[in-house]
Structure 1
């Protein structure tokens, strides 16, 4: 169970209870999808998940993948279920430490031992990230350091050592399309000659002159320097491997596998065999074994590739980077027949194919979704002796996601309470609860989620179940249960998210509820007071101000523009309770809205927690609504109407978009306001200040 819980750490944290934005500025919704911020990272097998998340879940269940332990952050808010926030948090701590720049920006100690300044290391800091799938990737810090250390051990004359070291450092500035003459003028006899010939072969390799490089490395496999002999043998693998894909690499580093040189691949595979036979404990052993996977991928041999991935995971090499490689090399080009070594790939691929189209996908990109019959046939075509245990779940998910046959999905996912709490069973139970909720069988759905919470100990799953219960209760119009003292929903974020759609009586109860945190009570008080004002319930506002000390909105708050005096908000509300049409008080309240309530709590996307109907009642008004009320009211003084016109125009400043509400005001109407201000009210200070309109 512990392995499963770590995987929810692909998520970032809510910055506040009201709103959370991802790295691209999107608001991450509290739902079982995160399509507004990319894909999801839920702790159950879901079509909405990033495929890496589903892969990590199934591999963790098999004991093949281990990531960081999951825990709630210190502020108590749960992570968001959005994969694109920080997918690398699937890494273990060792993975994270290894994820830095391979070119090692810190100069190695051997540099000083050779009498070279740290500045000589500067060219090595380029990791050649713009040259994917080419020889350039390996022209980095580890290769340079190995050469320098071997050079130090060779005990050559100081002048030769320094010259060879500088030549190798300068070589890192070369790559395909950036040809320079091969190193010359270095030792041609004795031990130093081996280093000269190595530099010449390496220069040819990095310049994609593979015939010359191959001959050069082959001649060095018997070198006196152990490092040169082994490295040359290893590079004899990479030479035909890079030649194989040389004509298949596109302008942007993309590979066309149909253009790969298969004969060169076979030579590379044979040379991997030779290297591992000659150097069973060699310094490049792990890299050579990884190259087997590259050969299989370029040969499009999914069966062999799946076996090698399985072996790598079983050997303890199941890190985050291997997970990414598996996603890229197998799932991105999923064959029609799933590899027998990793049958779960068909499950992950099947879930991906059930995924709802991205909001930004074009009609051409929205592929037809598979039918239940097609899914069954694909599993049958795999030729396994028995059907996989996950087949019923995949078919039930198809009923739910594609057919919207929620009754069939609910029936197919009913499990006894004593069924093991495996990943598959947990996912099945989640789908069962979602199906009950989709059928609006609220009592059954609530009871189901409560049972799951009572039996669950995994932190990630508990977070998910609290969210699903909160969503169910909101849709069942049972918000009081979400906020109750005995509620199993203990996450403050989930409770605060429903406050914007709560009724006035429930908000008043929440303000004084001893079991809620001060932050929750304060959020409830803010919602109550703000809605009293935006709905024009001024008497209620005065009464509700005293529910908490200090009040969420200070009665002494005064917001206004220079030279237009306003009284504190409590006095404004009292004045408007007596005279709702008072133009000055209305303008001042509009200024307050502009700073305090316009867009303060944006609505949640459809389907997310907090996206239900607002139970407070009344019609919310924005600052622009109040300015327009003054503009259109009879018997308003020139000064107050001019102020309202000027402030209304400034709601569209710079962009022409309304940032004082959601109303779409035509340009001709805004032009009319400007003309009116500059003609009829031209003598007012506000007309003189207003020079343009938007």
Structure 2
């Protein structure tokens, strides 16, 4: 009865758990914005996912855009690489070649312009080297200015050259005084003076002299030169926008939105709107719309900002553009509202409302969601009016789960008889139903439900996700053997490996080692069995089980399976510390099979574990398996060595030779070197006991090399 209660608590906690509110989950691994970083959250819409994962999955499905998800191996029964978490190997992937495909063309155009203007080529700066207001002082803006000069027939070749040279100077950091001096010979009344005014305005802008920039650009907005008029209008908006944030840094250099100059931000908003009204398809229209999103963020105009993003998401033309917008939304302009949770829906922005309210369902330090039932009820009309009530329903189901109301979920959701291939909301709803069955410990119905859902699903990611839950249900219900039945629906080697390592019986391990479906599973089973034979003192069994290796035609090797390398058992004894001689592991175990208290053999078994670190590795394939981890958890995991117990046994043995006892004393003390923490397995031994061992070694065996070598106890 105690076992069932513990399991139910662990299932409930794991299914309802969520990350701390507003936390980003990518800081410990690859950044979400990296092109090689794939989606690492669950293939369902849940509060615990990174909100960017949720948003990209939801939006991409509506547009039929491909998702940046992990690839599925050709044979899932032989791979442990599919799991819903960050993969270390993603850091080794290269960015797609398309990211820089158009760069040579841009550089070629600039080179042609420089040659036409008789200007010396310059070394262009790489993207990302410029920040804040300097971002527009780029090779691209150079090219735009040169194109305007070349298109203006009123300019002479000499004037174009002089203006182009001055623009190159600005690119290198020239001041307005230096630009004015370099262009002092331009004739009065020449249109070239208008370009000079623009350059001095730009110099003021990059110097942070926003008043000077404003005067220069204002004088050009009605220019009869189209490029100057449009660019000046755009730069007026950027000038006042930068002015609004010039004092926004907090005490420690962090951005503080509450220090934004609101009047300046409001002025920037009017300038952006004026630009877009005059040039709705202009050169800078896309940038101006992006600036409007920034301005609304500065003004903390959350409903308006949500509406702008909702509109822009719908306009995304491809998967790459959509991902860029999601990055901007969550990381750059941060709809995290300065750390304040969203608790109400935004008019005309049901998708963003859903994502933010889902974020507010993450459990806080009190194990409660920020979003309340009253908040959710108040948001319902906004979803109804936009025809997105299914999103609100999903929020309600997640709120019930977060607050432990599993009965409400089971009453509201019906197991689907058939499901569209791609409908993440419907799939998420079904998963919540299955989870509710598990929390209520309705194991047979939960097993049947996951089996049916697995058969209906045609999405590889979803299939793997459901397999983990099916495996967990079978373990929780005490039916682990069903996972390895010939017709088992749990085919993922990762999940089968987890169960074999953590909870399978020795009999099941023997069966899988000899009859498993492939060499990978047989290797995992045999390695686990042999480690457990040693750590559980089944020495005669170990000698027999070693023979099962003949059933594995080709034991798996390599990085992906380095945790189950069978060659570790070929230990020759040569790796022991100089001065203490051991025979091979096979011979050591033969001795122990005849006398499990043999002091020398026990020390040598300890040496095997010390030098090889052989154990049942429960860490390597533990990430991203969901509730299966709760199902297989044991307070005292199988297959973990306890060298300290061997040494203590030898120390206490009246029959142990002086050589063996002195070495056992030495090794028992060294278990705590140099950190003071036990690295040999087993319970901690207090410092007084270690001091006693040290004294015993020094007084009873003063001539031993180990007494002479040991200087401290820890």
The reply to whether TM is greater than 0.5 is: yes
Structure-to-structure mapping, 1:223-302, within 5 angstroms: 227-250=227-250, 254-302=254-302
In structure 1, the partner of 2:680 is: 660
Deviation at 1:440, TM superposition (A): 1.6
Equivalent residue in structure 2 for 1:567, among 583, 587, 603: 583
In structure 1, the partner of 2:34 is: none
The change in CA–CA distance for 1:347 and 1:157 in structure 2 (over 3 A counts) is: closer
Structure-to-structure mapping, 1:3-14, within 5 angstroms: none
In structure 2, the partner of 1:581 is: 597
The change in CA–CA distance for 1:475 and 1:336 in structure 2 (over 3 A counts) is: closer
In structure 2, the partner of 1:186 is: 182
Deviation at 1:264, TM superposition (A): 2.8
What do the CA deviations read for 1:396-421 (whole angstroms, capped 9, x no partner)?
A: 3222222x233332222223413656
Deviation at 1:223, TM superposition (A): 6.3
Equivalent residue in structure 2 for 1:558, among 553, 558, 572: 572
The change in CA–CA distance for 1:282 and 1:146 in structure 2 (over 3 A counts) is: same
Structure-to-structure mapping, 1:538-549, within 5 angstroms: 538-549=539-550
Structure-to-structure mapping, 1:71-470, within 5 angstroms: 71-73=71-73, 76-82=79-85, 97=99, 109=111, 113=115, 116=120, 120-121=123-124, 127-128=129-130, 134-147=132-145, 155-156=157-158, 160=162, 163-171=165-173, 183-188=179-184, 189=186, 193-221=193-221, 227-250=227-250, 254-317=254-317, 319-327=322-330, 329=333, 331-333=335-337, 335-357=342-364, 369-379=370-380, 384=385, 388-402=389-403, 404-418=404-418, 420=420, 422-470=423-471
Deviation at 1:458, TM superposition (A): 0.9
Note if contact 2:606-2:646 (Cα within 8 Å) is conserved in structure 1: yes
Structure-1 separation of matches of 2:222 and 2:637: 86
Q: What is the TM-score of this pair, normalised by structure 2?
A: 0.78
In structure 1, the partner of 2:560 is: none
In structure 2, the partner of 1:640 is: 660
Note if contact 2:344-2:375 (Cα within 8 Å) is conserved in structure 1: no
Equivalent residue in structure 2 for 1:503, among 502, 505, 516: 505
Note if contact 1:503-1:617 (Cα within 8 Å) is conserved in structure 2: no
What do the CA deviations read for 1:470-512 (whole angstroms, capped 9, x no partner)?
A: 1111212222222233222222111111111210011011112
Structure-2 separation of matches of 1:231 and 1:168: 16
Aligned residues: 638
Structure-2 separation of matches of 1:92 and 1:424: 31
CA RMSD for the aligned pairs? Answer: 4.1
Structure-1 separation of matches of 2:50 and 2:202: 40
What do the CA deviations read for 1:259-305 (whole angstroms, capped 9, x no partner)?
A: 43343334323332443344444322211121222222223333332
Note if contact 1:598-1:623 (Cα within 8 Å) is conserved in structure 2: no
In structure 2, the partner of 1:11 is: none
The change in CA–CA distance for 1:251 and 1:383 in structure 2 (over 3 A counts) is: farther
Matched position secondary structure for 1:548: helix
The change in CA–CA distance for 1:141 and 1:88 in structure 2 (over 3 A counts) is: farther
The change in CA–CA distance for 1:237 and 1:85 in structure 2 (over 3 A counts) is: farther
Moved more, 163-172 or 446-455: 163-172
Structure-2 separation of matches of 1:158 and 1:675: 91
> Is it true that 1:524 corresponds to 2:535 in the alignment?
no
Structure-1 separation of matches of 2:99 and 2:585: 54
Note if contact 1:502-1:614 (Cα within 8 Å) is conserved in structure 2: no
Deviation at 1:671, TM superposition (A): 3.3
Matched position secondary structure for 1:389: helix
Structure-to-structure mapping, 1:461-480, within 5 angstroms: 461-480=462-481
Structure-2 separation of matches of 1:391 and 1:281: 36
In structure 2, the partner of 1:630 is: 650
Note if contact 2:149-2:160 (Cα within 8 Å) is conserved in structure 1: no
Structure-1 separation of matches of 2:295 and 2:109: 33
Q: Structure 2, unaligned stretches of length 5 or more?
A: 1-25, 31-38, 556-565
Matched position secondary structure for 1:319: helix
Deviation at 1:599, TM superposition (A): 5.3
Moved more, 486-495 or 391-400: 391-400
Structure-2 separation of matches of 1:575 and 1:427: 57
Moved more, 145-154 or 455-464: 145-154
The change in CA–CA distance for 1:369 and 1:287 in structure 2 (over 3 A counts) is: closer
Structure-1 separation of matches of 2:322 and 2:472: 35
Structure-2 separation of matches of 1:484 and 1:287: 59
The change in CA–CA distance for 1:310 and 1:475 in structure 2 (over 3 A counts) is: same
Q: What is the TM-score of this pair, normalised by structure 1?
A: 0.80
Note if contact 1:88-1:320 (Cα within 8 Å) is conserved in structure 2: no
Structure-2 separation of matches of 1:369 and 1:640: 62
Structure-2 separation of matches of 1:471 and 1:418: 24
Deviation at 1:548, TM superposition (A): 1.8
Matched position secondary structure for 1:512: helix
The change in CA–CA distance for 1:645 and 1:230 in structure 2 (over 3 A counts) is: farther
The change in CA–CA distance for 1:201 and 1:251 in structure 2 (over 3 A counts) is: farther
In structure 2, the partner of 1:44 is: 44
Structure-2 separation of matches of 1:311 and 1:23: 29
Matched position secondary structure for 1:609: helix
Deviation at 1:62, TM superposition (A): 3.3
Note if contact 1:453-1:462 (Cα within 8 Å) is conserved in structure 2: yes
Structure-2 separation of matches of 1:572 and 1:68: 51
Note if contact 1:586-1:630 (Cα within 8 Å) is conserved in structure 2: yes
